[in-house]
Amino acid sequence: MPIYDLDAIDCNILETLQKDARISNVELAEKVNLSPSPCLRRVRRLEAEGTIRSYATLLDPAEVGLPVSVFVQVSLERQVDGALENFEREIVTRPEVMECYLMTGDSDYLLRVVAPDLESFQRFLLEHLTRIAGVASIKSSIALKQVSYRTALPLAHLGAVS
């Protein structure tokens, strides 16, 4: 759905749901100044069009035993379609890889990996990442402290958000 199809009410719905995805439709309708039926229709449309991809529960990594967060830069031997596809096919199967981006610049991919400890991360590197065909180099940076983390996208650029 093109961004220009979002009106002020759609934007308010999205802002509200990003803050609290468990809000009831009645409460959501009240917050965005709609009656419940039209509000629900808009939410269903936003879901059907893919603007709302899914709903999630965010966990505290440390509370579930995953306090180590590592950013990994991966360079491939050659950046050709087959090598890229192979790497991506392999990496999406790894549950410890939380994010993976194809990059410009010094490396081909940037990964965010979580682990219970450095030994587990080392095992991931040696038993999985280094064994993916075509990987030429790996550089890891261990996060010492999370300073900022957001899941809500800023919507002010749409011009309809208050």
Question: 67 and 129 share a domain?
Answer: yes
The verdict on residue 115 lying in a domain is yes
Segment 16-29, tens digit of pLDDT: 999 999 999 999 99
Domain shared by 92 and 137, yes or no: yes
Whether residues 78 and 36 share a domain: the answer is no
Q: Are residues 39 and 75 in the same domain?
A: no
Can you give the pLDDT at residue 156? Answer: 87
Question: Which residues, 6 or more positions from 142, have their beta carbon under 8 angstroms from its beta carbon?
Answer: 68, 69, 70, 118
Strands (E), 56-134: 68-76, 97-102, 109-115
| Length of the chain in terms of residues written | 162
Total number of domains constituting the chain: 2
Instruction: Give the C-alpha separation, 41 to 132, whole Å.
Output: 46
Domain assignment present for residue 87? The answer is yes
Confidence of residue 1 (pLDDT cuts 50, 70, 90): very low
Q: For the chain, what is the mean pLDDT?
A: 94
pLDDT in tens, 75-111: 999 988 899 999 999 999 999 999 999 999 999 999 9
For the domain that residue 106 is a member of, what is the CATH number? 3.30.70.920
Is the pLDDT reported for residue 48 higher than 50? Answer: yes
Residue whose entry in the numeric block shows the structure tokens 């194809």:
102
- Mean pLDDT on 15-43: 97
Q: The domain containing residue 11 runs over which residues?
A: 3-57
Instruction: Indicate whether 138 belongs to any domain.
Output: yes
Is 158 contained in some domain? no
